[in-house]
Every structure is written in structure tokens, then in C-alpha cells.
Structure 1
Amino acid sequence: MAENPLHPALFRKDAIAEDTAKLNDAIVGLMTPMPEWWNIGPDVTREARRQGRGPFPAPVLSPRARTETIAGRDGNDITLRIIEPRQVNGVYLHIHGGGWVLGSSDQQDPMLEHIADNAHLAVVSVEYRLAPEHPYPAGPDDCEFAAAWLVKNALSRFGTEKLTIGGESAGAHLSAVTLLRMRDRYGYTGFRGANLVYGAYDLSMTPSQRAFGNRRLVLRTIDMQQFYNAFLPTITERRVPDISPLYADLAGLCPALFSVGTQDALVDDTLFMYARWIAAGNEAELAVYPGGAHGFTLFPNRQAEEAAARAEAFLRAVTG
């Protein structure tokens, strides 16, 4: 019998390593006095993140990165940030996180360099439009157009048609939405794999989102509510599949690796989506990290290293 990735021991308090608990306490201590982005404005918060004033380290830009601009659905320009390894076996379409409001394609270059070099993938990260300035469907439209551009141009630009996709948090949500749009709007089901890291898949809020409370461990219940209201300011029916992919017909999608920590407000989203992915007849893996907070892969810690190694192994396997 295969090992059960949902073993109850993973979710017990005694499964949380001391270093993980200390990291979580440090994050809470750092974040608790910080102003809320919806009070000071998204622009101020974006600039603070860029300078490393907040929970995440200041971004380290890769000298290897280059950019390319493509046209979007609304006549807007979409910037693609590209990092290539010496040996290219496939392409990884990366979609960054940040609650559809924060983040950018150049704020995780070291992680993308590791994926490029260790999984032998040309990484293409999408600079999609952010809310509240550009609410739904602007961000999903940009990710869809980036995917469609890759389907058309990957062979000529990178010498391969092996495509993968993935992202963290809102980026995992947008990755799932993009896979569904490519299937339904283009008839394309050629992605080899999806690396979906602590994503939000039910924007009407799963039980773990509603029950998380106010401990400021990166993502609280109120944070999700504020992000959703910025992304969907006029939309109250949030179980539409293009908004909440948990409710979509998931048939015919690629193998996926779902990763989440047990102290993440979005833990239910990953557990539910993993189950529905398999129930739709797709291959899926689940990686659960005891005590892992939302965004744990973005901090220097042992679990982040384990998650990176597993994701890279998954991406190598599906493009091998």
C-alpha cells in the first residue's frame, strides 16, 4: 500500500520541529506591529517589500535575467522575466504570489535560478497586472496570454515544447486558472506538470481560511478577505470556476505537486484541491510540511530547502 500523504501525525503539534516553531514566532513578532496594506495603500506596501521592510528579505536580482514584452488581451504590455540554464529540457511558466495585490516577477530570482539550474528549465515569470488598480480578470488574462504565447513560441525561443507551470499562493491560484483556460479556450492540455505551492483555490473561503483567526503568521482571515475584495471588488458570487478553480471540472489536466504547511490559513485549499485533482482522474502528489506557515518557502529554513528539492525533482521528472 502506498504511503498516505495525509497521515494524521503530520498535523499534530508534536510534529512541528523546534526550528520551524522559532521561525513562526519570529515572523509573528516581526509582522504584528506592521501597518496593514489596505490602510497605508498597496503602493506603499509594495515599495516596503522591495526594500525588505517587512517579513520577506529584500529581493536579490539575478544578473542572468532578461525581459521580453508581449501584447495582452486589453492592448497592454506584459513583461516576461526569463532566466535560462545552460541545458534547457523544458520551460517553467512561473506566476508570483502576493494576494493579487503585491509581489512582482523580479522578487524571487534566487528561487527561480535554482529551478532553472536544478530542473534544467527556462523559467518565464509573468509580470501580471495587480489589483486593486486592475481587478479581475486583468491578472488572469495576462497569465493566460503568457501561456498562449509560450505554446506558440517555446520551440523557437527555447528549443523545446515541454511546458510546465507553477507558482506560490495567488500564483498557484492563477496557475490553476491558466491551466483551465488553456484547456477550455484553446483546447490545449499539453502542460507536463504543475507545481502548486500553498494556493488559494476557493475564494469564497474554505473552513481553514475562516477559522485561522488573527495570529499574524503571514496570512490571517482578514488578510484573505481584504485580498479578495481588492481582486473581486464587484463580484459576490465567488464560486465561479474561473475565480475559484476548486469548483471547476478538473478533468484532463496535467500531473501536479501540491505543497502546503499545516499552519497555513490555506491548508484546506491544498487538501481539497489535491483530492479533487485525483478524483478527476489526474495524477497528483501532496507534500505537507508540519508547522509550515504561509510563504514558508520564501524564508531561509530547512523546510524551504526540502520543498525546493521536491519541487525540482517533480519538474525534472515530468520533463524528463
Structure 2
Amino acid sequence: MSGSNPFDPKLFTAEAISPETKGINDFIVGAMKDLPEWWEIGVGTFREQRARGEGAFPLAPKSPLAREIAIDGKAGNKVTLRVVAPENPSGVYLHIHGGGWVLGGADQQDPLLERIAKNANLACVSVEYRLAPEHPYPAGPDDCEAAAIWLAKNAKTEFGTDKLTIGGESAGAHLSAVTLIRMRDKHGFTGFAGANLVFGAFDMSMTPSQRAFGNERLILRTLDIEKFGDAFLPPEIDRRDPDVSPLYARLHDMPPALFSIGTRDALLDDSLFMHARWIAAGNEAELAVFPGGAHGFVAFPGDLAAAANKRADDFLKRVTAG
């Protein structure tokens, strides 16, 4: 689906979009057409509706394999880690969920964690980080940093392996990049073997594709990006601070990364730009472009999601091999 050349212009044309993918996108737009806005009905109400599977995203069943660990965060805060692990894992995947820093939760990721645990033989550890607007920046990044510090110290004892990977979707990809940079700069730790960064938001000052996407309700509109950013970031924060927008960070000594993005995603530029900067800083990186993929497309059934998820599983398995 991604093609041997991710910069092949044909991948970005309407003709490259399969009828199945177009049908999925049409379904998403229809399912979201009358959905209330979270900032109008209240974020708590919206979270409850989403947890019940209302809206466009499929309901994620809870895994009987999941367990939770409570660790110490900053300033006495406790952080919950949700774990789905195979026997004798070959590595650990620190997963950070998406949701615009406002929505989602670790306990809504179980099917994803089960898939990666099975296909890549990794112990999957998803972070229940604090959400905005109740807990704006830097609360969420601080919790993800605490989880990474804990794994760097305890993965071998807890899971029998200290081979670490990291990744997430959307805001989770953003927080993964921020965590990698914090671990390098604040803790001198560059021990992650790979980063799986799926349709991430890497520039909080808004890339051209974010600004130009418009109002089509295909999961993520320009307005949604603005509302999420305003909820997450206090007004005095510089939106190009590298701790806020990792696109502007020094990116030396980063692990091999896979950037996955659909061509119908408002965050398209974020992955294109970040992939280029990752390589320019001397790191290994792959770019997987999926024609017609909307924001969040990996959560919907179909060939496009299957191809993207297999590419991610294969990447994680490869970087933790040996």
C-alpha cells in the first residue's frame, strides 16, 4: 500500500485511493456528521460517549490478558501502566495513546496491544497519562517521561528483557517523540531500539496541511486541531518550543523510526517533515504513505489498515530481533 517509493506522486492522487478506502471515509464522515463537539457538551460527557463506542471509532473490548501497574510520577503523582504481555517477550513496547491530549485512555487500546504482543512478541505497556484541559502541558508529557524512566530501570526485572521500543498514534506519536528527546537530554538515555510514530502531530504551531485541511469531518479537521491545541497548551507557551513541537528539536541520537501517514490526514505534513528531519539528523527512518488514509485509519477494518498495522508489527519485530 505504501509503495516502494513513498514520494511517488501517484500515491497522493485520487486515483490511488481504493473503493474500499473511499467507502470507509464516506462512512466516517456520515457517522460524525451529527456528532456533538466535545467543547460544547463538556469533555467528560464526550469521553463517556466515546468509551461506549458512540461516534465513528469502533468500540475496543477489554482484554482478559491486561493487568495494571502503578508507578510514581512527578510531584507524588501516580501513573498507571496497562500491560498486555506474551510469555518470554523479546522486547517491550511503550505505547502512548492518541486523542488530542484530551480524549482516549490506556484501557481503550487493548486490541492494539494484543495485536502487537502477538505479532511482534513484545510486552506492551500503555501509559494512562493525565489529560487536558484538566491537566494541561506539561502533565501528559511528564507522565510519559515517568513511564519511560521506570521501564529503563525495571523492564529487565519486570519482563525479562530491557530491549525497549516506543510509539503511538496522533497525540501519542507526538508524546513518544517528546519522551525520546527528554530521555536523551534530561537522563542521557538513548536505549530505545525503535519508534513507531503513527500519524503524529509534531508541530503545535500548525503545519500547512493542518491549516489547509478545512472543515470536512473526516476524524480531524483544522478546527479540531486548534481546539485540542488550545486545551493542551497554556496560552503563554511558545508553540515552537522543542518540548512542545518536536519538529523543532535537535534530533540527533534518535532510534530507527517508522512514520506512517495517510494522504487524507490533516497531519500529512507533520510526518513528511519529521521523517526528513529525522534522517537529516543522521538517524534511520522509514516513511509509509497510505493513499486515502484518514486520520485514525488504522482503527478501521480494511486492507489499508491491515497493511499499515502489518508494517508496524514487522518494524517492531525487526528492531527487537537478536
What is the TM-score normalised by the length of structure 2? 0.98
CA distance in 2: counterparts of 1:235 and 1:106, whole angstroms: 32
Q: 1:25 & 1:3 partners in 2: Cα distance?
A: 28
User: Which residue in 2 is equivalent to 1:69?
Assistant: 70
2:208 maps to 207
Q: 1:295 aligns to what?
A: 296
Query: Is the contact made by 2:265 and 2:293 (CA closer than 8 Å) also made in structure 1?
Result: yes
CA distance in structure 2 between the partners assigned to 1:235 and 1:144 by the alignment = 22
Aligned to 2:163: 162
SS at structure 1 position matched to 2:192: coil
> Take 2:278 and 2:42, find their aligned partners in 1: how far apart are those partners?
37
Instruction: Give the aligned partner of residue 255 of structure 1.
Output: 256
Q: 2:119 matched to which residue of 1? A: 118
CA positional deviation for 1:236 = 4.7
The equivalences for 1:40-119 within 5 A come to 40-119=41-120
**How many aligned residue pairs are there?**
319
Alignment partner of 1:148 is 2:149: yes
**Mapping 1:31-46, distance limit 5 Å:** 31-46=32-47
Shift of 1:82: 0.3
One-letter amino acid of the counterpart of residue 144, structure 2 = C
Unaligned runs of 5+ in 2: none
Counterpart code for 2:268: V
Equivalent in the alignment of 1:218: 219
Partner of 1:280: 281
Describe the SS at the equivalent of 2:106. Answer: coil
Instruction: Give the superposition deviation at 1:196.
Output: 0.2
Report deviation, 1:223.
0.1
Q: Which residue is equivalent to 1:231?
A: 232
Q: Shift in Å at residue 235 of structure 1? A: 3.1
CA contact (8 A) 2:148 2:179 kept: yes
- Where in structure 1 are there 5+ consecutive unaligned residues? none
Distance 1:274 1:130 in 2: 27
- Give the Cα–Cα distance (whole angstroms) in 1 for the partners of residues 52 and 301 of structure 2: 18
Cα separation, 2, equivalents of 1:190 and 1:96: 21
Which residue of structure 1 aligns with residue 265 of structure 2?
Answer: 264
Partners in 1 of 2:28 and 2:304 — Cα distance? Answer: 15
Q: Distance in 1 between matches of 2:306 and 2:239?
A: 34
Aligned counterpart, 1:173: 174
Aligned-residue CA RMSD (Å): 1.0
Runs of 4+ more than 3 Å apart: none
State the match for 1:194 in structure 2: 195
* Rounded Cα–Cα distance in structure 1 between residues aligned with 2:77 and 2:29: 38
Q: CA offsets per residue over residues 165-204 of structure 1, 9 Å max, x none?
A: 0000000000000000000000000100000000000000
- Taking the aligned partners of 2:271 and 2:246, their CA distance within structure 1 comes to 12
Amino acid at match of 1:205: M
Letter matched to residue 297 of structure 1: V
Percentage identity across paired residues of the two chains: 66
Residues 1:128 and 2:129 are matched in the alignment: yes
**1:234 counterpart SS class:** coil
Could you tell me how far 1:294 is from its partner in structure 2?
0.0
Whole-Å separation in 2 of the counterparts to 1:13 and 1:59? 31
The answer as to whether partners of 2:84 and 2:117 remain within 8 angstroms in 1 is yes
**2:140 aligned partner, one-letter code:** G
Q: Deviations over 1:96-147 (max 9, x none)?
A: 0000000000112111101001100000000000000000000000000000
Amino acid at match of 1:64: L
1:72-94 alpha-carbon deviations (Å, 9 max, x no partner): 10211100000011230000000
SS in 2 for 1:272: helix
Work out the CA distance in 1 between the residues paired with 2:93 and 2:126: 8
Residue type of the alignment partner of 1:106: D
Q: Write the distance in 2 (CA, Å) between the matches of 1:5 and 1:229.
A: 32
Give per-residue Cα distances to partners, 1:263-286, cap 9 Å, x unaligned. 000000000000000000000001
Paired residue secondary structure (1:229): helix
The alignment's TM-score, normalised by the length of structure 1, stands at 0.98
3-state DSSP of counterpart to 2:148: helix
Give the SS at the match of 1:69: strand
Cα distance, 1:58 vs structure 2: 1.7
Q: Matches of 2:37 and 2:236 in 1, distance apart?
A: 23
Taking the aligned partners of 2:277 and 2:236, their CA distance within structure 1 comes to 25
Distance in structure 2 (CA, Å) of the matches to 1:104 and 1:301: 24
Residues 88 and 160, structure 2, Cα contact 8 Å, conserved in 1: no
Distance, in Å, in 2 between the alignment partners of 1:126 and 1:103 is 11
Which residue of the partner structure matches residue 25 of structure 2?
Answer: 24
